[in-house]
Amino acid sequence: MTAYLERRRARVAAAWGLSDEIVLVGAGHPISIPGGQDQTYPFLSHSEYFYLVDRECEGGLVTFDPKEGWTDFVPDVTEDERVWEGRTDVDGTPLSRLPAWLAARSGRKVAMLGVAQRDVAADVTVTAEARERLQQAIRPKDEVELERMRRATAATAAGFAAVRQLIRPGMTERGLQVELETGFFRHGAERTAFGTIVGAGSNSGVLHFTPGERRVGEGEHVLIDAGAEIDRYASDVTRAYPAGTPGGFFRELYEVVLNGQVRGIARCRPGTEWREVHLAVARDLAEGLVGLGILRGSPDSLVEQDAHALFFPHGLGHLVGLGVRDASGYLPGRKRSTRFGLAFLRCDFPLQPNYVITVEPGLYFIPALLNDPERRSRYRDAVNWAKVDTLLGFGGIRIEDDVLITPGEPDVLTAAIPKTL
Ligand SMILES: [Mn+2]
């Protein structure tokens, strides 16, 4: 086994700290597309399995016995698979030996991670604890992971460079998506890390917009949130581009978001609570909205009232790496806030060296949020509703980079993608 996988497994075993319980981590199986088309969705091994084995293996299973170490169980390759898919044998212990392996350990508690194996009686508590500890062990990215992320980022940068020059009135969202993803694939991407978001005009205010045939209008802008994936490692970038010369309001709002994002990135230091970075950026955005005459009051008190969340209704970011969400989550014992301005945080933990986290503030004019009479009443004094009414078709602006936490200055992995107007 490669040295980096040995190091990973040793780190995970130490994090589990087990004496008697055993752990199974399943890769999972392809999922059929309904309708008898003889097709499956693209197969990706469960990320918990992939992290420990670093290969795609349909039906694969890695086990850990604290008394004996790791075993890689692999399915036998059938003749059909050799004929139709060109599959060859994979190194490992034949899966047919798993029942005997389990029988020899009967009576010991089992943690079942990855995709659950049928017919294995797992202990719910032991499973939850092992999963939490594995998630924490996955968070800091090792050199192999970072090298892949840098390649994914380079492919992403190539796609953004290609699409940027094509943004002009008349282009469709779908047409821009095609050029962007072509750039990714020409530069090594194997897949997109998630469904590409391209929203023109008011569509830029739909947080996860699926591009369609809408054309970019004169004086509108386009929001693109996309990333390439290589060897299972993801990149996740958002930029907003004006079609032609940016209008006054676009420029003003853009500067507010960019300022919040740049200052937020600078706060990404080891030991800093992610929730505090989020709140500091929320405060900067609120201050900017006061400057634009959209919010009224002191930025601190506006954030305390969650007034910023009317225009910034999502968390500041999430871990990215092995997949677009990597091992995001909350420290054990922490619960989601019920506050409107904090409930959507995907992460709640102190930042640590080698975490990679997205910093992606945005400001939007979302009719579904802003036309709600209850909110209009609660924030009667905090919001200049007459001005908001003129902006309900504007959409939104988000700016997102992937930031590697280091012992010193944060390292912006996606810095090659320009974000100045
Ligand atoms: Mn993101």
For residue range 313-357, what is the model confidence (pLDDT) as tens digits?
Answer: 999 999 999 999 888 889 988 999 999 888 889 999 999 999 999
Tokens for 325, please give them: 């969400």
- How many A from CA of 382 to the centre of ligand 1? 29
Q: Which residues are CB-contacts of 51 (< 8 A; sequence separation ≥ 6)?
A: 8, 134, 138, 322
Residue type, 315: G
- How many A from CA of 318 to the centre of ligand 1? 6
Which residues are registered as beta bridge partners of 229? 191, 234
Q: Which residue has the tokens 């980096």?
A: 4
Distance of alpha carbon 162 from alpha carbon 165, whole angstroms: 6
- How many A from CA of 404 to the centre of ligand 1? 14
- How many A from CA of 204 to the centre of ligand 1? 15
Is the distance from CB of 272 to CB of 354 less than 8 angstroms?
A: no
Task: Please tell me the predicted confidence (pLDDT) of residue 245.
Answer: 83
Which residues are registered as beta bridge partners of 199? 223
Q: How many angstroms separate the Cα of 312 from the Cα of each of 265, 284, 344?
A: 17, 11, 11
Task: Please tell me the predicted confidence (pLDDT) of residue 163.
Answer: 98
- How many A from CA of 401 to the centre of ligand 1? 8
- How many A from CA of 400 to the centre of ligand 1? 7
Distance of alpha carbon 346 from alpha carbon 342, whole angstroms: 10
Distance of alpha carbon 339 from alpha carbon 277, whole angstroms: 16
Helix axis angle, 274-291 to 248-266, nearest 10°: 150
Distance, C-alpha 225 to centroid of its chain: 11
- How many A from CA of 324 to the centre of ligand 1? 7
- How many A from CA of 67 to the centre of ligand 1? 41
Strand pairing class (347-348; 329-330): parallel
- How many A from CA of 237 to the centre of ligand 1? 7
- Reported pTM: 0.95
Nearest CA among 367, 358, 332 for reference residue 133: 332
Tokens for 212, please give them: 């369609």
- How many A from CA of 331 to the centre of ligand 1? 20
Distance of alpha carbon 11 from alpha carbon 127, whole angstroms: 18
Task: Please tell me the predicted confidence (pLDDT) of residue 238.
Answer: 98
- How many A from CA of 97 to the centre of ligand 1? 42
- How many A from CA of 398 to the centre of ligand 1? 10
Give the three-class secondary structure for 126.
helix
- How many A from CA of 361 to the centre of ligand 1? 10
- How many A from CA of 412 to the centre of ligand 1? 14
- How many A from CA of 202 to the centre of ligand 1? 20
Q: How many angstroms separate the Cα of 273 from the Cα of each of 263, 270, 276, 320, 344?
A: 15, 9, 5, 17, 16
- How many A from CA of 123 to the centre of ligand 1? 34
Task: Please tell me the predicted confidence (pLDDT) of residue 118.
Answer: 84
- How many A from CA of 238 to the centre of ligand 1? 8
Strand pairing class (411-412; 362-365): unpaired
- How many A from CA of 42 to the centre of ligand 1? 22
Nearest CA among 309, 327, 306, 308 for reference residue 318: 327
Low-confidence stretches of the chain (pLDDT < 70) are none
Nearest CA among 257, 245, 180, 165 for reference residue 211: 180
Distance of alpha carbon 287 from alpha carbon 301, whole angstroms: 11
Q: Where are the domains of the chain?
A: 3-138, 143-412
Task: Please tell me the predicted confidence (pLDDT) of residue 395.
Answer: 97
- How many A from CA of 212 to the centre of ligand 1? 21
Burial of 6: CB neighbours in 10 Å, binned 0-12, 13-18, 19+? exposed
- How many A from CA of 317 to the centre of ligand 1? 6
- pLDDT per position as a tens digit, 220-262: 999 999 999 999 999 999 999 999 888 899 999 999 999 999 9
Task: Please tell me the predicted confidence (pLDDT) of residue 35.
Answer: 87
- How many A from CA of 198 to the centre of ligand 1? 14
**CATH architecture of the domain covering 3-138:** 3-Layer(aba) Sandwich (3.40)
Q: Which residues are CB-contacts of 159 (< 8 A; sequence separation ≥ 6)?
A: 179, 180, 181, 182, 183, 184, 187, 189, 226, 228
- How many A from CA of 278 to the centre of ligand 1? 14
- How many A from CA of 131 to the centre of ligand 1? 23
Task: Please tell me the predicted confidence (pLDDT) of residue 2.
Answer: 93
- How many A from CA of 359 to the centre of ligand 1? 8
- How many A from CA of 235 to the centre of ligand 1? 9
Tokens for 49, please give them: 């399995």
Is domain 143-412 in CATH 3.90.660.10, yes or no? Answer: no
- How many A from CA of 303 to the centre of ligand 1? 22
Distance of alpha carbon 78 from alpha carbon 294, whole angstroms: 65
Q: Which residue has the tokens 């995907």?
A: 346
- How many A from CA of 321 to the centre of ligand 1? 11
- How many A from CA of 316 to the centre of ligand 1? 9
User: Is the fold of 3-138 the same as that of 143-412?
Assistant: no
Task: Please tell me the predicted confidence (pLDDT) of residue 419.
Answer: 97
Tokens for 98, please give them: 């798993």
- How many A from CA of 236 to the centre of ligand 1? 5
- How many A from CA of 197 to the centre of ligand 1? 11
Distance of alpha carbon 45 from alpha carbon 38, whole angstroms: 20
Tokens for 262, please give them: 């740049």
Give the three-class secondary structure for 191.
strand
- How many A from CA of 375 to the centre of ligand 1? 27
